Amino acid sequence: MTLCEDCAAIVPNQAGAPGHANLISLGEVRALHLARRRATHEVFTCAECGANWDYLRDKRDPTAGWTRCDRSTPAAAPSTDKGERAA
């Protein structure tokens, strides 16, 4: 997948980094470990290039911010090698 210019301009893992106008919020992910830290995790998708982004809002974590997450990409190499080839 190729990122559009707006997505390419996003600075990942930086608290307070701005997103862009074509990001569509898919809603908030609720998780206990986030609630305990009073952090929020919001999921976005880009209307322009279809990139998936996570935005983590956590006052205690200076690296909380934008993260790319490509859920559309199938896992190419599932980690199922548990020694099945022992024979």
Residues in touch with Zn ion (CB under 5 A): 4, 7, 46, 48-49, 51
- What lies within 8 Å, CB to CB, of 33 at 6+ separation is none
CA atoms of 23 and 6, how far apart (whole Å)? 9
Pick between residue 20 and residue 37 the one whose CB is nearest to Zn ion.
20
**Taking the complex as a whole, how short is the minimal distance between the CB of residue 75 and Zn ion, in angstroms?**
22
**Residue 57 · residue 63 · CB < 8 Å:** no
**Taking the complex as a whole, how short is the minimal distance between the CB of residue 21 and Zn ion, in angstroms?**
10
At 30, list the tokens. 């609720």
**Taking the complex as a whole, how short is the minimal distance between the CB of residue 55 and Zn ion, in angstroms?**
14
Pick between residue 21 and residue 32 the one whose CB is nearest to Zn ion.
21
Pick between residue 52 and residue 64 the one whose CB is nearest to Zn ion.
52
Q: Cβ of 69: how many Cβ atoms within 10 Å?
A: 13
